[in-house]
Amino acid sequence: MSVAGAAPWWKTAVFYQIYPRSFALGDPAGRRARLATTGAAFDAARDGVGDLEGIRQKLDHLAWLGIDAIWISPFQPSPMADFGYDVADFCDVDPLFGTLADFDRLLGDAHARGLRVIMDWVPNHTSDRHPWFVDSRSSRTAEHRDWYIWRDGTGEATPPNNWARAFVEGPAWTFDEATRQWYLHLFLAEQPDLNWSNPAVVEAMSGVLRFWLDRGVDGFRIDVVLGLGKDPALPDVPAELASLPYCDQNDDPSTHAILRQLRKVVDGYDQQPVAVGEVFLPTTEQILAYYGDNDELHLAFNFPPMECGFDASCMRSQTEEATRLFAQRVAWPTWVLSNHDRPRHRTRYGGSERRARAAAVLLLGWRGTAFLYAGEELGLEDAEIPRHAQVDPGGRDGCRAPIPWQPAPGYGWGLEGGPAWLPWPPRADLVNAETLSEDPSSILHLYRRLLAARRASAALQLGDLELAAAPDSVVAFRREWAGDVRVVVVGFGGDECAVDLDPPPEGTWIVEVASGGRDGLASEGERYLGRIGPEEALILKPGP
C-alpha cells in the first residue's frame, strides 16, 4: 500500500509493460490443443511465443519485484500483421495466447496479489480481417461501409491525399478493386482506420471498453489515441512533411470530444479505471492537451525523454519542461524510457549496464507515474536479429526478444526444443531472472530496492520536484511531500565528481539507494560523502 493515502492509485503506481508474445510461456500443451483444431503444424513464428498462462505464472516475480500494475499489450484475435495491433475481434483472446477464462484467471490472481491490470486498446484501426471491415469492403452500401474511411481519390492511380503510412514506405491509402475506392490506413494496409466521426463506431467501441471493464480490468493503454479525430476534408500535409508517417502528425481538435465521451465510460466503474494514452506528438506541451480539463485522458506517455541519449543536459531540460508545464495544469506526468516500439534504453545508451542502473534511479525518482518495460529490470539489451529472423515491418524486433527466466538453453520457456519466435537477448545464460535474483548486487535487486524506496516515500510518490544546483554532468533534484524529503542525484559523467548539497535539518544525507553496486562509490545506509562515482545515481534521505 502506498504511503500517499488518498491519491488515485494510478498516480503513485509503477506500471510494468508486458508484451505477451515475449514474456513467458506457461501452457504449451494447452496451446497445441487449441491450435490443433486449426490443423496447423508447430510454427516458431506463430507458436514460439508467450501466453497468458505464462504471465500468470510470473505474477510472484512481479509482486516480489514491487511493481503495482501491469499493462498487457494486445492478446486479442489477430492475424499478427502487426503482432496483435491489428485486432480481428476486440472481445476475445487469440487461441495463441489462451482463452477468456485464462484471462479472467490471470486478472483474479493479479488482483489477489494487489497488482492491477490494464490492457492495450487499439481504437484507431482494426485488422482488415475484422468482420466489420470484411463487411465494409464488400460493397459501397454495406452496413459497415461508413465505419471506415473510404474516398474516391483520382482513379486508382492517385490516392485521395498525400498522407504516408508508418513502417513501410507508401501512401496511407490502398485502392480496393471490388468497390473502386481507396481506404485509409495510417499503418499497414492490414490495419484500416476506423471512422470515429460515425456514432455507430463510438458506440461499438464504447461497448468494447465496457466488455473488459465489466470483467474487472483496471483500465486501458490507448493506442494511437491522437488518430481518432480527423479533419473530414482529409487535407494534404505540407509537402515537406509528406514523407513522414501521418500517424505522428494528426492532432485534430475533434479527438478531444471523443476522449471526453470515452472518459465518461471509463469513469463509470468503481475500480477507478485509468486511461493512459499513446500520444506520439513531438512536444510535452502538445501531449498535455490530451488530458483536457482533467476530463479526457488520466495519463499520457511523455515520450520526448526517450529522444535523449545518456545525457545530463537533455534529461535536465526534459525535467525542467515537465515540471514547468505540469505545474500549470491539473495533470500528472508520466515517465518511460523503453517500450515495445523503441530500442531498449540500455542499447540506446551504448550498452552500458552502469548507465542503465543510473537511469533506473532517474526514472523512479522523477515526479510522475513511471512505466517499466518487461526485461529492463534485468538490464536487457536489444537482441541481434539476423535478416532471416526479422519479422516486424517496423524493424522493432530487437526490443521484443523473449525474456530469459533461467540460465539453461530454452531459458525457462518450456518450448520443448522448438525455437522462440525471435532470437534471445545477449548473454541470456548470465542475464536472466533466476541468475540475477541470486546476486544481491544485480540490477534486478537494484530495481527492487528502488521500488521499495519509492513505495515507502510520499515524497517520491507524490512530492514536488525542485532542481538542485549541480555540476553540468549531474542532474539533481529534491522531492518533498508533507514533510517527507528525498534528493535524487544522477551522474551522467564518466568521472567521479563532487555534488555539494545543503544539509537537511536532521543533519546529514544518508544514501538510501545507490546504483553503483559493487563498483559504486557510495554505500547504501552510509552517510553521503558529497561525491558520486562515474555514471552513478543515488537516492538520499535525511538522517542524523
Residues known to be catalytic: 223, 278
Q: What is residue 495's DSSP assignment?
A: S
Cα angle: 486, vertex 488, 492; to 5 degrees? 175
In angstroms, rounded to a whole number, what is the distance separating the alpha carbons of residues 276 and 539? Answer: 28
Nearest to 497 by CA among 538, 447, 442: 538
Nearest to 360 by CA among 279, 304, 442: 442
Cα dihedral 196, 199, 200, 206 in deg (nearest 10): 80
Nearer to ligand TEU, 55 or 122 (CB): 122
In angstroms, rounded to a whole number, what is the distance separating the alpha carbons of residues 540 and 453? Answer: 10
In angstroms, rounded to a whole number, what is the distance separating the alpha carbons of residues 520 and 535? Answer: 9
Beta bridge partners of 477: 467, 488
In angstroms, rounded to a whole number, what is the distance separating the alpha carbons of residues 187 and 42? Answer: 29
The CB-of-452 to ligand TEU minimum distance in angstroms stands at 30
In angstroms, rounded to a whole number, what is the distance separating the alpha carbons of residues 141 and 518? Answer: 69
Nearer to ligand TEU, 150 or 373 (CB): 373
Quickly list H helices, 145-222.
199-214
In angstroms, rounded to a whole number, what is the distance separating the alpha carbons of residues 348 and 352? Answer: 9
Number of other CB atoms surrounding residue 469 within 10 Å = 10
Q: What is residue 519's DSSP assignment?
A: G
The CB-of-340 to ligand TEU minimum distance in angstroms stands at 6
Nearer to ligand TEU, 283 or 523 (CB): 283
Dig out the grid coordinates for 243 from the structure: 514523407
Site residues, ligand TEU (CB under 6 A): 82, 85, 122, 166, 187, 223-224, 245, 247-248, 278, 280, 340-342
Beta bridge partners of 486: 479
Say which residue the cell 563498483 belongs to. 519
Nearer to ligand TEU, 373 or 405 (CB): 373
The CB-of-145 to ligand TEU minimum distance in angstroms stands at 23
In angstroms, rounded to a whole number, what is the distance separating the alpha carbons of residues 162 and 388? Answer: 33
Nearer to ligand TEU, 190 or 377 (CB): 190
Number of other CB atoms surrounding residue 245 within 10 Å = 18
Nearer to ligand TEU, 12 or 78 (CB): 78
Sheet (strand 464-468) strand order:
464-468, 474-481, 484-491, 537-543, 508-514
Nearer to ligand TEU, 222 or 499 (CB): 222
Nearer to ligand TEU, 121 or 447 (CB): 121
The CB-of-87 to ligand TEU minimum distance in angstroms stands at 9
The CB-of-86 to ligand TEU minimum distance in angstroms stands at 7
Strand pairing report for 69-72 and 14-18: parallel
